[in-house]
Amino acid sequence: MRIGAIEAGGTKFVCGIGTERGEIEDRVSFPTERPETTIANVIAYFKDKSVDAIGIGTFGPINVNPGSPQYGSITTTPKPGWADFPFLETLKREFDVPYGWDTDVNAAALGEATWGAARGLDNCVYYTIGTGIGVGVYAEGKLVHGLVHPEGGHVLTRRHSQDAFEGICPYHRDCLEGMAAGPAIEKRWGAKGSELSSEHPAWDIEAFYIGQAVTGTILLLSPQKVILGGGVMQQKQLFPRIRSEVLKNLNGYVNTSDILEHIDTYIVPPGLGDNAGLLGSVALGVRALS
Amino acid sequence: MRIGAIEAGGTKFVCGIGTERGEIEDRVSFPTERPETTIANVIAYFKDKSVDAIGIGTFGPINVNPGSPQYGSITTTPKPGWADFPFLETLKREFDVPYGWDTDVNAAALGEATWGAARGLDNCVYYTIGTGIGVGVYAEGKLVHGLVHPEGGHVLTRRHSQDAFEGICPYHRDCLEGMAAGPAIEKRWGAKGSELSSEHPAWDIEAFYIGQAVTGTILLLSPQKVILGGGVMQQKQLFPRIRSEVLKNLNGYVNTSDILEHIDTYIVPPGLGDNAGLLGSVALGVRALS
């Protein structure tokens, strides 16, 4: 099978061809411009590829309600031209194949559950922590949409006792994203995270916020694996700190060896590494076919 | 169809007979004693009832992993005799019918999604706020278990600026349950919630904590309905206060009319009222049959 995959980001689009075994056979990347231009690039790429299905994991918020006239579009975004642009419909007019359509983070969660760190599991959450913070939820073998779709990057967290930073979320000021996304680190410390040493106090504070959000996710959803990806999580010194925060927060309450004894393999980076996004879209395409 | 239903609480057991249309045809109630006594009462009740299936919604934490040798038992509980007691196995030896087995709150969520406030929806959460706080999660048509099962009563919340109460959760001190369950209200104010006037400041503080937890649930899970039950939620003045906290916390971020325009029908009491628990167990039994 030849699965077309689109990883649609706010900065760049990655298109590729994958297989039902999770291999990537080809890929291209181009900047995200106005939708007419960008989607024309997408169409040009797939034109001679004879794909059997296309999976799209995209930035959002998006409409994932198949019963809605707006299904398949990005809903509200400051990116010029993209709000309400009929993303999926435009592609459907060109390629008459089954489509998978979901958020980038739900796609990544599905990819990880299919071929990555949560392979074979029915429940995982995928956090991307970078310019923003997003959460994909895969529960009992299904990607969760509900009313809209998860927006777990904006949960409220307690403030770190040594942290006077006001937060930068335009909606909630000091929610998780407002306190812990990449731009919050940069504004708080006057330097990008990648410029701070691995022993800088920034990382204890960062782990405090992420650890709180992960704790809440474990309590509410009981995932079998928590996967933390995105640019900020390239700072690998965060992982032991986050695990430690989670154990401290839970304080033995969730009585299972996966957490109490094996947290190193419970809270993990993406098993698919830099391919998590594109393979997530491949997984959406595979699921659309079956 | 005759569906046997068991609502197993830490204080009392309710057993009954229901139908696939959500009617209750008979019920009895007895105190929760040691398991040998209580389960003998359950068996005696169902002995001549010729049920086609049995649904059990129980206090916990419980083992809901069908692959585990401990499946069907309550795992850790201070109640004498109940920890690791083979609850489900003991019944199976008496009645050879299909069984539904889940937490009391998951059962209630399923009951509400089948016949109650979330009827026809695929996604809802059910909070019980009483002696403790529990959360049932129904997502994309499935009850969520994951690694163990949701324990959303113990999420961490920010402290109310006027509240110096230390909290009473033995694990987390000032988590949601530690700050907002019935015993926390009683300890904070020196009087049971039912003895406080509906204008008492207790209710603003209570709504502040519950509203935060509900906000986090909306962001992480995007439920189509949030149902708040349990003894504390008999204080109906809490509902408008909680809705107001949620709107304030979200600050327009989740852009959907269900929340922005119709929050009165989005955050609601159980549609099944006092039958939410027993009908939840009936719903588990119906699902076990199909």
Q: How many beta carbons lie within 10 A of that of residue B197, not counting itself?
A: 8
Q: Which residue matches tokens 């995932």? A: A223
pLDDT of A116 strictly over 90? yes
pLDDT of B82 strictly over 90? yes
For B98-195, strand residue ranges (E) read: 99-103, 124-129, 133-139, 142-143
- pLDDT by residue (tens digit) across B10-49? 999 999 999 999 999 999 999 999 999 999 999 999 999 9
The chain-wide mean pLDDT, for chain A, equals: 97
Q: How many beta carbons lie within 10 A of that of residue A262, not counting itself?
A: 10
B186/A contact by beta carbon, under 8 A: no
The per-residue pLDDT for B235 is: 98
Asked whether the beta carbons of residue B220 and residue A155 sit closer than 8 angstroms, the reply is yes
Higher pLDDT, A52 or A60: A52
- pLDDT by residue (tens digit) across A10-52? 999 999 999 999 999 999 999 999 999 999 999 999 999 999 9
The per-residue pLDDT for A78 is: 85
- pLDDT by residue (tens digit) across B114-150? 999 999 999 999 999 999 999 999 999 999 999 999 9
The answer for B 49-68 residues in CB contact with A (under 8 A) is 61
pLDDT tier at A143, thresholds 50, 70, 90: very high
Residues near A24 by beta carbon (within 8 Å), at least 6 away in sequence: A5, A16, A17, A18, A275, A278, A279, A282
The pTM of the full predicted model, rounded to 2 decimals, is 0.97
The per-residue pLDDT for A77 is: 86
Locate CATH 3.30.420.40 in chain B.
Answer: 3-103, 117-269
The per-residue pLDDT for A267 is: 98
Which amino acid would we find at residue B250?
A: L
Higher pLDDT, A78 or B165: B165
pLDDT tier at A76, thresholds 50, 70, 90: confident
Tell me: cis bond preceding B78? Omega within 30 of 0 counts: no
Query: Hey, what CATH class is B3-103 in?
Result: alpha beta
Helices (H), chain A: 35-46, 87-94, 104-115, 176-180, 182-189, 202-221, 238-250, 257-260, 276-289
Strands B267-268 and B226-229: parallel
Q: How many beta carbons lie within 10 A of that of residue A113, not counting itself?
A: 27
B83/A contact by beta carbon, under 8 A: no
Q: What dotted CATH number matches A117-269? A: 3.30.420.40
Query: Angle at the Cα of A116 (from A112 to A118), degrees rounded to 5?
Result: 65
Which of B76, B144, B260 has the highest number of chain A CBs within 10 A, making it the mutation to test binding with A?
B144
Residues near B96 by beta carbon (within 8 Å), at least 6 away in sequence: none
pLDDT of A251 strictly over 90? yes
- At residue A201, the 3 state secondary structure works out as coil
A161/B contact by beta carbon, under 8 A: no
The per-residue pLDDT for B72 is: 97
Backbone angles phi, psi at A74, to 5 degrees: -80, 135
Pick A148's closest partner by Cβ from B148, B153, B256.
Answer: B256
The per-residue pLDDT for B240 is: 98
A259/B contact by beta carbon, under 8 A: yes
Q: What is chain A's Cα-based Rg?
A: 19
For chain B, strand residue ranges (E) read: 3-8, 12-18, 24-31, 53-58, 99-103, 124-129, 133-139, 142-143, 226-229, 267-268
Give A152's DSSP letter. Answer: G
Q: Say how far apart CA B14 and CA B195 lie, in whole Å.
A: 27
Beta bridge partners of B156: B175
The packing angle between helices B87-94 and B35-46, to 10°, is 30
Give A152→chain B minimum CA distance, Å: 4
Segment B256-265 mean pLDDT: 97
Which of A138, A142, A144 has the highest number of chain B CBs within 10 A, making it the mutation to test binding with B?
A144
Q: Say how far apart CA B155 and CA B153 lie, in whole Å.
A: 6
Under 8 Å between Cβ of B195 and B236: no
The per-residue pLDDT for A238 is: 98
The per-residue pLDDT for B78 is: 85
Residues of B in contact with A137 (CB under 8 A): 139, 220-221
The per-residue pLDDT for B76 is: 85
Segment B227-252 mean pLDDT: 97
Q: What ipTM was reported for this prediction?
A: 0.97
pLDDT of B89 strictly over 90? yes
Beta bridge partners of B13: B8, B30
Segment A200-207 mean pLDDT: 98
